[in-house]
């Protein structure tokens, strides 16, 4: 083969569609309500902000490469062994580390039709083959996932609850999935929104990780903990997986401010309860209000909702609604890249933001 005339990326990289984060661009003349990235309207714990500020006097010192304080705080809160916890620069980093550690060229990584886009990107970046599995009623389907497993499958990525649909898989179904996976396949349960879920038949995956050798649970401080800017994620995994990922991660992948603020946030249970209460109040209110004006809302257990604009209506499209809302300062998330061209995802925001979206969409649906 002819010699390359310039450095070329690994196979597969150039046909990755880069992840486009939720926008914060709206009409500059009105107040901005960013509802595009599932950030919390409650903000972080004040104790986390204090811990962050205290880091300013030791910026010349490297972070603790083991993030011991943070792992201990997580372990204590969740009743886990800190040896089974690994922290990262956002849970996105963990997803990438798992892919690059376990997937090689030609290996397959499975995720579902409307699953989180980072899975596909990380599988491809690792040289692997992304395998997309159909969903049923916007929900992941155990049998469809199992049917896609081959000898080359290395990882099944499952967001539970899923972003952007807001749907979840019950604990018994997750267990059925794990029980029927061959032992060489890793099941990654991405529980970024676990704290918001109020269903008796839901489990984040902690017990399943503890009871098996091929399950990993990932979590984030970007959502209910209100620390998205600091980029903190973690995984709970069997020791052999923690050991493998520890070999390849950056030695100081979590910075000192993130370690200190994350540990403080973990300990502030009252703050989390407040955020859950706000979500509990607005999830049904928003769902009902948007349903009442003719939108279809997928039942959500997260801190966001997926609204569908009427089929065959050329006026009230998701694109037109997005433009209408953005002009009024409300930035939602278009989800066409997730195969949902006629829907918008909305983060549950402050009372002012939520009511503002309801009012604006009520007017929008009356436009002709
Ligand atoms: N998983 C899911 C399902 C998500 O929605 C997100 C945030 N968009 C992440 C992981 C990544 O979160 P972070 O990197 O901020 O921890």
Rounded percentage of the chain residues whose pLDDT exceeds 70: 100
Q: Is 7 inside any structural domain? A: no
75: CATH: 3.40.640.10
Same domain, 153 and 221: yes
**Contact indicator for 195, 226 with CB cutoff of 8 Å:** no
Domain identity same for 180 and 78: yes
The verdict on residue 20 lying in a domain is yes
Last residue of a domain, one of 247, 268, 289: 268
Q: What pLDDT sits at residue 1?
A: 66
Domain that holds residue 211: 46-268
Q: What is the SS3 assignment for 168?
A: coil
User: Ligand 1, from 19, 21, 92: best to mutate by most atoms within 8 Å of Cβ?
Assistant: 92
My answer on whether 259 and 333 are in the same domain is no
pLDDT of 7 above 90: no
| CATH code, domain with 282 | 3.90.1150.10
Verify that 57 and 76 share a domain, yes or no.
yes
Distance between Cα 220 and ligand 1 center (Å): 7
Whether this prediction's pTM lies above 0.90 is answered by: yes
- Whether residue 224 is contained in a domain is answered as yes
The residues, any chain, with a CB within 8 Å of residue 280's CB and separated by 6 or more, are 198
From start to end of 95-199, where are the E strands? 108-112, 129-133, 153-159, 186-190
Q: Are residues 82 and 155 in the same domain?
A: yes
Q: Count up the domains in the chain and report the number.
A: 2
Q: Which atom of ligand 1 is least distant from the CA of 22?
A: 8
**pLDDT tens column, 34-84:** 999 999 999 999 999 999 999 999 999 999 999 999 999 999 999 999 999
Task: Write the pLDDT tens digit of every residue in 81-134.
Answer: 999 999 999 999 999 999 999 999 999 999 999 999 999 999 999 999 999 999
Q: Which of 216, 237, 268 is the last residue of a domain?
A: 268
Among 235, 268, 301, identify where a domain stops: 268
pLDDT band at 2 (very low <50, low <70, confident <90, very high): confident
Residue 197: which of 173, 161, 162, 224 has the closest Cα?
161
């Amino acid at each position: 083969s002819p010699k390359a005339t310039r450095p070329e990326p690994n196979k597969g990289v150039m046909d990755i569609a880069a992840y486009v984060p939720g926008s914060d661009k709206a009409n500059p003349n009105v107040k901005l309500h960013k509802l595009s990235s599932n950030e919390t309207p409650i903000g972080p714990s004040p104790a986390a902000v204090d811990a962050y500020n205290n880091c300013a006097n030791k910026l010349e010192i490297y972070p603790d490469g083991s993030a011991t304080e943070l792992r201990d705080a997580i372990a204590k809160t969740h009743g886990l062994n800190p040896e089974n916890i690994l922290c990262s620069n956002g849970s996105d980093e963990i997803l990438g580390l798992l892919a690059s550690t376990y997937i090689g060229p030609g290996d397959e990584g499975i995720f579902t039709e409307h699953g989180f886009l980072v899975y596909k990107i990380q599988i491809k970046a690792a040289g692997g083959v992304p395998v997309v599995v159909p969903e049923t009623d916007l929900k992941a389907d155990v049998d469809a996932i199992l049917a896609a497993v081959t000898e080359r499958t290395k990882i099944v990525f499952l967001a539970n609850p899923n972003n952007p649909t807001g749907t979840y898989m019950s604990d018994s179904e997750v267990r059925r999935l794990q029980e029927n996976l061959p032992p060489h396949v890793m099941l990654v349960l991405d529980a970024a929104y676990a704290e918001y879920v109020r269903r008796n038949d839901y489990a984040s995956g902690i017990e399943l990780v503890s009871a098996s050798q091929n399950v990993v649970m990932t979590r984030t401080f970007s959502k209910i903990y209100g620390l998205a800017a600091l980029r903190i994620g973690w995984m709970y995994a069997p020791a052999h997986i923690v050991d493998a990922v520890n070999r390849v991660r950056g030695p100081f992948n979590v910075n000192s401010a993130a370690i200190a603020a994350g540990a403080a946030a973990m300990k502030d249970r009252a703050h989390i309860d407040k955020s859950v209460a706000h979500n509990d109040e607005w999830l049904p209110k928003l769902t009902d209000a948007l349903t009442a004006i003719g939108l279809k809302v997928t039942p959500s257990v997260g801190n966001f909702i997926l609204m569908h604009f009427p089929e065959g209506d050329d006026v009230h499209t998701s694109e037109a609604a997005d433009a209408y809302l953005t002009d009024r300062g409300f930035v939602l998330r278009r989800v066409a890249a997730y195969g949902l061209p006629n829907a918008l995802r909305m983060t549950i925001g402050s009372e002012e933001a939520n009511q503002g979206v309801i009012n604006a969409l009520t007017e929008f649906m009356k436009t002709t």
